[in-house]
Amino acid sequence: MECIIDTHHHIFDTDQFPYSPDRHLTPPNASIDKYKAWKSHNGVTKSVLVHGLSYGHDNSSLEAFVQQLDPGVTRGIAVIGRNTADDELKRLHSCGIRGVRLDLYSEHAMRDLDKQLEMLQYYAKRVAPFNWSMGFLQLEPGNWAHLAKFIPSLPVDVVVDHQALLKSSSMLPADVTVAQQPGMEAILRLLASGNFWIKISAPYRNSESEPHYDDLREVIRLLVHANPHRVVYGSDWPHTPRMKIRSKEEALIETPFLKFDDSIWLQKLRDWLSAEEWNLLMVENPTVLYRF
């Protein structure tokens, strides 16, 4: 069986670890055993567990889940705050953590460019000594023009999830093409810069054409063509809903996962990519980025 590395999934298990009272989303449980079964079914051999923001900045669950998944084939992405001590970062590194995910929700920075620039600079300095990557996903397409000038100066790799939320034709106005949409040109330049990576993941965040998401092909081809060495695959299992800013009351109500057929999506990617591009996406690139 060929190797597939899944660089973006979550585990939610409130039987082991309760959610943060300040969470932005309340997902159902999605256990270690269920993910292992999903891995086996889809030919995934290694994975990167991304700390769910529902657990806040307490990475205890992440550390435990990485061990339960097998640190020999699992890496972790933590969520840290301003008060996270260097000793904790050292401990997390020893547990197989190889990156952080910026929590723009808690700092009200989902659309605020100035806050985003400050966070990128601050956290890059914190994690650079560990040679970690830094996950970053924001909601304002117009911010990418300025971010494209700033991110190449950072001393770490910056990784953006879900096609950077670029839209397929089914989510764009009729008079806007995929290539001309806000943010696309800047993101393609960033991919060519060297320290910017994009996860090909969660097509339901970029397209309305379920279940096959055929109109996302143009977005994927543009990203891969810009730099086939800076794209990685992520499942986004167990498929949490689209990003939005929820009220405190909304955040505490359990929200079901999306229904999604991963096998169909994997076949679409295989159809759209050459054999070399597929191997880079699924094996070679994630091995470099997450140091498997």
- Give the C-alpha distances (Å, rounded to integers) separating 234 from 2, 38, 288: 16, 13, 15
160 Cβ neighbours under 8 A, 6+ residues apart = 135, 136, 137, 187, 196, 197, 198, 199
Q: Cα separation of 181 and 158, whole Å?
A: 22
pTM for this prediction: 0.95
Q: Cα separation of 62 and 98, whole Å?
A: 12
Give the single-character DSSP code of 12: B
The per-residue b/e assignment along 48-83, b for 16 or more CB within 10 angstroms, e otherwise, is bbbbbbbbbbebebbbbbbebbeeeebbbbbbbeee
- Give the C-alpha distances (Å, rounded to integers) separating 227 from 122, 194, 283, 288: 27, 9, 15, 15
Identify the pLDDT of residue 251.
87
Backbone angles phi, psi at 133, to 5 degrees: -90, 170
8 A C-beta contact, residue 59 and residue 83: no
Q: Report H helices in 53-210.
A: 60-69, 86-94, 113-127, 144-150, 184-193
Q: Which of 240, 223, 213, 238 has its CA nearest to residue 281?
A: 223
Identify the pLDDT of residue 241.
87
> For the chain, first and last CA: distance in Å?
18
Tokens standing for residue 102:
């910026």
8 A C-beta contact, residue 76 and residue 66: yes
Identify the pLDDT of residue 20.
94
Identify the pLDDT of residue 1.
47
Query: From first to last of its 292 residues, what are the pLDDT tens digits of the chain?
Result: 468 999 999 999 999 999 999 898 999 999 999 999 999 999 999 999 999 999 999 999 999 999 999 999 999 999 999 999 999 999 999 999 999 999 998 899 999 999 999 999 999 999 999 999 999 999 999 999 999 999 999 999 999 999 999 999 999 999 999 999 999 999 999 999 999 999 999 999 999 999 899 999 999 999 999 999 999 999 999 999 887 778 888 889 999 999 999 999 999 999 999 999 999 999 999 999 999 9
